[in-house]
Amino acid sequence: MNAPAVRLTSRSERVDAAAHLGLTVGAEILDGGSAARVFRATTSEGAEVALKVLVSAPGLVDGHDVGSFLGKVTQQNWIQAGEAALAGRYLPILHVVHGSGWAAYTTPFYESVDSAASLRDSPDCTEFFALHTRLVKDLIVYGYGQTIVPAAPDFVESVLVGRVPRRKALLAAALPSGLADIDRLVVNGRECANPLHLLARLSADAPVWWSRLAPPRLMFPAHGDANTRNVLVGADGFRLIDPRGSTAYWDPIYDLAKTLFSLTVWDPALRLGCAIRQTGGGWTVGFRQPVFAGYVAAAGQFIDRLADIPDLMGLLSDDPHWRERLLWTHGLHVLAEAACRLSDPKPKTDAAGTPIAREELALCHYLLGALLLTDLARQSASGSIDVHDHLSLLAVPAL
């Protein structure tokens, strides 16, 4: 069903939303990565729901703003109307309320874990890849592959690269003084280009650089933000939450790169915290504890495993640069996320309960983004990218 929208005028966010919907609000659910706050709540009839609230505030990057938040509802309603089988994989949105500068919606509360939970318990990737293969098949068979349109040759530059300059001012203000402006830096012993400058040079000096990587087509927007925390695994299978918030036709490689990014940098940083040291020779960046062995193993196998999914390969059969585009998209996700970490107000702690500062997360993503994008530019210029050599850059010991 289409979730009913009720417009309110107050900006007191969850208090007004809860009062209007007749909810009793309980504990906050902190296991998320967006700017929204999520609470466990109970309706007047006793049903458990999740209440998700976003209040507009200075410093929210594109994609984390109220418009994008409400766009998730629009996208999910659009999926419901056009792709019923895929819609059945989503937790339904029950109610939507919004006022001046804020919005909220509810979904059923779903007892679950995220899709990477099995990898935190064991280095065995069997369960994770079985689940991920089912997810990819559902997104392809019932989602992306249902409707296809031609892609513009500037898709990579306008959509993926274009996020970076839009977020530069916010990011530069939070990074150590001058770091966003220097042209060269050293990360984990490797000389790296300033990633902001590198992307600008590639766009200006080699306009065919990005068009070569462009997908031949765009597809039905089946999700758009398939990080591992947006795939919830329960007793009856899995459910999707939090699509990108857009009905624009999309590249499924973007979603696949988001999952890889969850395993390599995003989820380890949020769960383990970052460890960053500056010396006279540059920066050393890693995590406070060793990354889960299952994450490392799954990331190393990820692209090879995709090649074993016939439905996906059928969709990419005339897309010769999909692996290269996936790696570039992954590296661009790492860099673009640096500013996103500044938009998330929820408190973060590592496994020992030590706080993780937003600025620390932003710096970690910026430095690792520089490392990855510099290597991609170097390897691409030589004619091909060694996937395993590239991802091994992230195999850093705990600091």
- 283 and 360 share one domain: yes
Clarify whether residues 379 and 303 are in a common domain: yes
Q: Which residue has the tokens 């109970």?
A: 42
Helix ranges (H only) for the chain are 14-21, 66-82, 84-87, 117-121, 126-138, 155, 163-174, 195-205, 208-213, 252-261, 267-272, 293-306, 310-315, 322-343, 358-381, 387-391
Task: Answer with the residue of higher pLDDT: 1 or 334.
Answer: 334
Query: Considering only CA atoms, which of 92, 143, 101 is closest in space to residue 315?
Result: 143
Pairing mode, strands 5-7 and 95-99: parallel
Residue 1 has pLDDT above 80, yes or no: no
Indicate whether 288 and 387 sit together in one domain: yes
Together in a domain, 40 and 103:
yes
Answer for the pair 220, 82: CB distance below 8 angstroms, yes or no: yes
Residues 128 and 102 in one domain: no
Residue 399 within any structural domain of the chain? no
Residue 237 within any structural domain of the chain = yes
Which CATH number covers residue 153?
Answer: 3.90.1200
- Judged against a pLDDT cut of 70, whether residue 4 lies above it is answered with no
Can you tell me the mean pLDDT for 7-24? 68
Determine the pLDDT at residue 201: 92
Please tell me whether residues 228 and 120 are part of one structural domain.
yes
Same domain, 61 and 120: no
Work out the pLDDT band at 346, boundaries 50, 70, 90: confident
Q: Which residues 6+ apart lie within 8 Å of 6 measured at CB? A: 20, 95, 96, 97
Asked, for residue 89, whether it belongs to a domain, the answer is: yes
- Name the pLDDT band for 9 (thresholds 50, 70, 90): very low
CATH number (domain holding residue 67): 3.30.200.20
Do 244 and 212 sit in the same domain of this protein? yes
Which of 88, 108, 128 delimits the end of a domain? 108
Burial class (CB in 10 A: 0-12, 13-18, 19+), 74: middle
- Do 100 and 120 reside in the same domain of the chain? no
Give the end of a domain, one of 74, 108, 142: 108
The residue among 335 and 85 whose pLDDT is bigger is: 335
Give Cα 246 distance to the centre of its chain.
14
Q: Residue 10 in 3-state DSSP? A: coil
Does residue 96 share a domain with residue 117?
A: no
- In the predicted model, what is the mean pLDDT of residues 125-153? 94
The yes-or-no verdict on residue 11 having pLDDT over 50 is no
Q: What is the mean pLDDT of residues 97-110?
A: 91
The span from the CA of 76 to the CA of 83, in Å, is: 10
Domain region containing 15: 5-108
Residue 307 confidence (pLDDT): 96
pLDDT tens string 268-314: 999 999 999 998 889 999 999 999 999 999 999 999 999 999 999 99
Model's pTM, two decimal places? 0.95
pLDDT tens digits, 178-202: 999 999 999 999 999 999 999 999 9
Give percent of the chain with pLDDT exceeding 70.
96
Q: How many domains does the chain have?
A: 2
| 138 and 88 belong to one structural domain | no
Question: What residues have CB less than 8 Å from 26, skipping those under 6 apart?
Answer: 39, 40, 41, 42
Point out the least confidently predicted range of 18-27, 46-55, 64-73, 112-121: 18-27
Using the 3D structure, point to which of 69, 86, 108 is the last residue of a domain.
108
